[in-house]
Amino acid sequence: MACNVKTWFALVATLSLLANLTPLVFGEPQVSCFFIFGDSLVDNGNNNDLDTTAKANYAPYGVDFPDGPTGRFSNGRNMADIIAELLGFDKYIPPFATASDQEILMGVNYGSGGAGIRDETGSQLGARISLNHQLLNHQTTMSRLALLLGSEEAAADYLSQCLYYVGMGSNDYINNYLVPQYYPTSRMYTPKQYATVLIKQYSQQIKTLYKYGARNVALPGLGLIGCTPAEMATYGTNGSACVDVVNKDVAHFNDELSLLVDELNNNLTDAKFAYVNITEISIGDPSAVGITVTNAACCVPSSTMGKGQCVPNLVPCSNPGNYSFWDAFHPTDTANVFMAAGAYSAMTPLLSVLKLGSDEGTSIL
């Protein structure tokens, strides 16, 4: 389901005024727990101790985050953090790598930089936690919850009331299909065939999560990968604003994901799935939150180790709030506010299903 544009812009306007205000004041969370699966767009520290170049636990990452560099691929918060704020949580959802027993009651963030739907995706970067492995980690969390709550049945009932956000697929293009020097997939499949192969595997993974008790699942599509500074530098734009051929490749995935969400809702009638149209959100007007630079990174991106990520310890631009991109791939805190507002709006049907009170804490007001 696409986001309600009017609601989204109202959220953006509110968030643009509140983005830099601290401390945040929260109401009661709208959901009991929030589980996040994904890649570097939501990773908040799971890759920190892995042998990989896909990590962000060094300056200048985190320059605008209260705890400094934490593993978030941004100058500040990532999308998952801001969605958690909008849901009313008074703390950010903890990474699986460090979550304590009590913390997992509010949910877990399994996101891992470089991870994909396909297990081999991102392997040239080093270690990463693929979606299949994230699902295994969720099984571990389920066992821990069963011990905390007294039984598997109690844990299953608790998990059925949680909200799930599963955002995967970007790396299956950026760190697989679009790098033929490392992977054969672009020689094996046309763009449309590749999207079909990805969605077929993704479908099974989402159904596995359903078997694990997930009943309220947001599935964001992919953003305009061809508009990232990294892809524009690699391919050139031929006078266009972005790399059109890359965006067309990714559009096949989004089309099929939207159809998959319809299929899941038709076949798994005791659950609710919501498609989050990230592309539609991306083409909105970012000036609503003060963004004026959309084609360059704020930090100095590396051309070697962790290509496209910030060069360690170099001074970034002085006005990150005016930039869409922190490094050559990942959004700034301000851009994440913009994207999270649209994602939250698209997730409204899931919150309705969870029978949430409209007077509970619904924003970061």
Residues with a known catalytic role = 40, 327, 330
For residues 296 and 232, give the distance between their C-alpha atoms in angstroms, rounded to a whole number. 10
Q: Name 272's bridge partners.
A: 216
For residues 173 and 243, give the distance between their C-alpha atoms in angstroms, rounded to a whole number. 13
Number of H helices, E strands in the chain: 12, 6
Ramachandran bin of 160, using left for φ above 0, alpha for ψ from -120 to 50, beta for the remaining angles: alpha
Q: Which residues fall within 8 angstroms of residue 254, CB to CB, at 6 or more apart?
A: 221, 222, 277, 278, 279
For residues 288 and 199, give the distance between their C-alpha atoms in angstroms, rounded to a whole number. 33
- Six-digit token string for 38: 């994904």
For residues 338 and 108, give the distance between their C-alpha atoms in angstroms, rounded to a whole number. 23
Nearest by Cα to 79 from 234, 281, 232: 281
Only one residue has tokens 């812009």, namely 9
C-alpha pair distances (Å), 246 with each of 177, 225, 226, 238, 249: 10, 7, 5, 13, 5
